Structure 1
Amino acid sequence: MAQTTAARASRRDWVGLAVLMLPCLLVSMDLTVLNLAVPHLSADLKPSSAQLLWIVDIYGFLIAGCLITMGTLGDRIGRRRLLLVGAAAFGAASVLAAFSTSADMLVVTRAVLGIAGATLMPSTLSLIRNMFHDPAQRTLAIGIWTTSFSVGGALGPLIGGMLLEHFWWGSVLLVAVPPMVLLLALGPWLLPEFSDPGHHRYDIASALLSLAAVLAVVYGIKRIAEDGPDWIAALSIAVGASIGILFVRRQARLPEPLIDLRLFRIPAFSAALGTNMAGFLAMFGISFLLAQYLQLVIGLTPLQAGLWSVPSSVGYTLGSMLTPWLARRFSAATVVGGGLLVAAVGFGALAGLGHSPGLALVVAGSVVFAVGLAPVYILTTDMIVATAPAERAGAASAISETGTELGGALGIALLGSIATAAYRSAMSQAVATGGIPPEVTETARATLGGALAAASRLPLPAGADLLATARDAFTHALQTASLISAAVMIATAVVAMLALHPRPSAVPGQGL
């Protein structure tokens, strides 16, 4: 009944949606655009290796850590207000970061950018929940919202590459300023305000616990992805998990918790969140490996690799456009399950990469899994925000975005670790059969990048043999990770088809 009587969005709402796309584009662009500028800013600011890591990583860390806090804060003080404050802070921090005079200053301004970015994502999604009450229109709006992230991620390397050819490294950060100014000018007129009048107290201790828990876990996972498992990564994850348990226990005792744990009692909410995380685990993990394959195996430049990633963004856009049509004709469980199976086909295709470089197969496989995962992300996100009561849409949106961040980080760490183990195993076999000179064995077995560097220092026949062996080993590792991803998608599809079918307890707000 609710689906037939819900008020339909006005033209003003659709124009407002276009305004909400601006921060989404910028947040995803900022995750990738600085990577191309690393050589230029390194020459200018001369950061240490530790400072350089923090310059690159602190932005994503603080976005992940602050999402829950900012989503709930938007419910309390007003989602439009928080969005506009975040936009002003994001624009100002972008200017300061662009004109940083030291590595420490750039670390601090990137941290502020991460905190500001965390205010933008849950605010935009929860405002969509308030603006689009008709289920079909809301699905379309969320599809457009998710596509803006994909487009931003694809545009980042392209725009950054063009700017760096003509301007200094800080120019890539100034791209954010005009859209933020436009958002500040149009937002008050086009976006509605919404806050939860029933909540007044904001628990600072809970906010700090959630930040510490997510930061510790994400840091540990990222360390595993970069350096492999070690005691520091294990300790970081264990500390984060322990703080997370304290956070959950505190929420259960508080009369006005930062996160209402009763949201997780809604079957559709929990099932959609788990499915969402599984999809991003596979997509981020394989995309991380494909970026290395394109550059280190096929030999493309970073800009060329970025250009060849555009077809997958187009595939995601196509999948997003098809989602509303599919959702009108089939149940959400069927569309999500079908999308996961399509993604499994794409990952399975990547497992067919042979010893010779296969650019066409990489592009085809990535397009297929992007098409398949687009409806998965759109519909699970829709379920997460729609099954939660309207006054908790900010918190639900923040949980959704945090799940995405954690799923992506887990994908890079787990699939990256599996691929590293497979690469080292293949290289060990090559060593045992005498295919690698003893003096470069350890370097070549560690990473593909190390093997390429070692090959460049060897005489031509030995260097060429090492290069071919290392590239074959990495291709084998990518095949292994792709097969695992395909299996995860198939298993998740079965669970989603069973768990996402409507149940009486999945009615929005019921049981809360």
Structure 2
Amino acid sequence: MTTTPVPATAVPGATPTTASAPAPSAGRRGWFALAVLMLPVLLVSVDNTVLSFALPEISRHFGTSGTMLLWIVDSYPLVLAGLLVVMGSFGDRFGRRRLLIIGAVGFALFSVAAAFAPTAGFLLASRVGLGVFGAMLGPSTLSLIRNIFADRNQRRIAIAVWAAGFSSGAALGPLLGGVLLENFWWGSVFLLAVPVLVLMLALTPFLVPESKDPAPGRIDYLSIVLTVATMLPIVYGIKNLATEGSLLVSATAAFVGLAAGTMFVARQLHRPDPMLDVRLFTVRAFSGAVLVNLLAIFSLVGFLFFVSQHLQLVLGLGPLDAGFVLLPGFMVTIVAGLAVVPVVRHLAPHVVVSASLLFSAAAYAMIALHDDGGSAGFLMLAFVILGLGVGASETISNDLILSTVPAAKAGAASAISETAYEVGAVLGTAVLGSILLAAYQQRLVLPGGLSDAQIELSTETLGGAVEVATQLGPAGASFLQDSAFHAFDSGVTITTGIAALLMISASVLAAWSLRGSDSAASTPVAERELSTDENKR
């Protein structure tokens, strides 16, 4: 295959390398616009963590199976992951602010639908709808930031604030959710989105400037189909293998996804105006930053999936008290994301990111070494350490990803960053959650005399076992609860041990892949490497 050489200024991230005037700084209006853009960011992150704390009540209310519960959690980030690149491209073409407003309206409507879902299936469908319109929100916020803040130092701070917005929402989610879950029904957690979106819709037209690609390519419908056909089967294959154990089905799904992905890459390489310039992934620092983004969220969401159940079901804390246990960790995540900005001016990004991932590994290792899952205070400390690693690595990885492209193509880079975030969320629940479920089912010992329905409910989730225990006499209830708690904590030990090894591997990979990248460089590393490749040709 031969390709036509592309000048450096035509590739993603290309900017003039000659000495030129500094990029203009954003004024007061720019920072006001950033404040408005934080509203949908807070919304998305609140929605994720609120649901984690509502899982026990949803499980008891609908009597859902473990697989259905995982799908209710995963459907939202899964659909987002499949559509983010598409929506990022649409934002570049039709206007990022316009797409942001459309996404906000749709997200509000489906939030109301989810809040009043009459069945688990309806709730799942509502989560899918949230994913569709949520995919319009994420890339729009980050790409608008890229265009508002042309100055690199200002943009790095804005990205740190953006990343801190996710952590702030994650911190607020358990607290607000705890208040709602202790006073109202589980569906009330979804209604949190409505007032936030109303405020955003009122302020966005006045404070947020519109931006789009002045020379967009044609809409490539086949690439849109191939993007979705790549993401959905691969994640489904992972989930199916972990929960159902069908190797044939999982292998078939993975093959379909990889085949679609191969076709997508080939199509982008041959098109003069690709929806996504996949050559960026040949740049070691860019690919490494995307992977770090994914693994940081993988560790955060995977931790939240089991710790929310342990705090409420094993330790018996209410949702609000459980939220307070995790609050220090979320606050540390925010502080770390902001504090790392001056640090990375003096230390190389690969050193900072590699060390950050080791903090995440240490948090998981602490829990893996405890057979009983740990006390509330112990879990609080572990989450503080995890938050330190996640906050620092997220800021640096997003800065590296976003700085590789010119402002006109910000939607595509933002979509890649957001896709990594959402895929990490999917895999954190699908992989670690599924391993935990399999270990729980293998180690659970049931008392005699249970009906088939009680057996099925007890083996599907820890929440199901707790619910069945309330239907038994004192002896049977005590036996079932002790067995379920022991089985769950044994699964946590296995799961966190695996997660710790993954984070150590990720730290080594980050140290290698990000070496040579300089988040303060005036010329993006992707431009330098792609330009070098073109000159070699």
TM bracket (short chain): 0.7 to 0.9
Alignment counterpart, residue 494 of structure 2, candidates 454, 477, 480: 480
Farther off after superposition, 337-346 or 501-510:
501-510
CA distance in 1, matches of 2:310, 2:514: 36
Alignment counterpart, residue 481 of structure 2, candidates 461, 464, 467: 467
Shift of 1:189: 3.0
1:355-366 matched pairs, under 5 angstroms: 355=372, 357-366=374-383
Shift of 1:51: 9.4
Alignment counterpart, residue 114 of structure 1, candidates 122, 131, 137: 131
Alignment counterpart, residue 327 of structure 1, candidates 326, 338, 344: 344
CA deviation digits over 1:11-45, x for unaligned, max 9?
2211111111001111222334457778999999x
1:232-271 matched pairs, under 5 angstroms: 232-271=249-288
CA distance in 1, matches of 2:471, 2:116: 39
1:110-509 matched pairs, under 5 angstroms: 110-163=127-180, 171-224=188-241, 231-355=248-372, 357-423=374-440, 426=443, 448-449=462-463, 452=466, 460=474, 464-502=478-516, 507-509=525-527
Contact 1:295 1:301 survives alignment (8 Å): yes
CA distance in 2, matches of 1:122, 1:89: 16
CA distance in 2, matches of 1:121, 1:188: 18
Farther off after superposition, 495-504 or 61-70:
495-504
Matching of residue 9 in structure 1 with residue 23 in structure 2? no
Contact 1:389 1:508 survives alignment (8 Å): no
State the TM-score, normalizing by the size of structure 2. 0.81
SS of aligned partner of 1:257: coil
CA deviation digits over 1:379-401, x for unaligned, max 9?
01110111233322211111111
Gaps of 5+ in 2: 1-16, 532-537
| C-alpha spacing 1:31/1:450, structure 2 compared with 1 (3 Å) | closer
| C-alpha spacing 1:102/1:283, structure 2 compared with 1 (3 Å) | closer
| C-alpha spacing 1:221/1:342, structure 2 compared with 1 (3 Å) | same
Shift of 1:183: 2.3
User: What residue identity is the alignment partner of 1:252?
Assistant: L
Structure 2 match to 1:64: 81
State the TM-score, normalizing by the size of structure 1. 0.85
User: What residue identity is the alignment partner of 1:118?
Assistant: A
CA deviation digits over 1:212-253, x for unaligned, max 9?
322233334344565555654444333323322222222222
Shift of 1:207: 0.9
CA distance in 2, matches of 1:382, 1:266: 15
SS of aligned partner of 2:344: helix
Shift of 1:149: 1.7
Question: Which protein, 1 or 2, shows the higher relative CO under an 8 Å CA cutoff with sep ≥ 6?
Answer: 2
Farther off after superposition, 153-162 or 324-333:
153-162
CA distance in 2, matches of 1:471, 1:201: 56
Shift of 1:119: 0.7
Q: Percent identity?
A: 43
Farther off after superposition, 178-187 or 46-55:
46-55
CA distance in 1, matches of 2:318, 2:219: 49
Contact 1:348 1:482 survives alignment (8 Å): yes
Shift of 1:125: 0.8
CA distance in 1, matches of 2:443, 2:332: 33
Shift of 1:360: 1.2
Count of aligned pairs between the two proteins = 504
Gaps of 5+ in 1: none
CA distance in 2, matches of 1:447, 1:99: 23
Farther off after superposition, 261-270 or 235-244:
235-244
CA deviation digits over 1:1-20, x for unaligned, max 9?
98993433322211111111
SS of aligned partner of 2:527: coil
Farther off after superposition, 215-224 or 456-465:
456-465
| C-alpha spacing 1:56/1:490, structure 2 compared with 1 (3 Å) | closer
Structure 1 match to 2:3: none
Shift of 1:171: 4.9
Farther off after superposition, 295-304 or 258-267:
295-304
SS of aligned partner of 1:404: helix
Shift of 1:374: 0.8
CA distance in 1, matches of 2:463, 2:59: 20
Shift of 1:47: 11
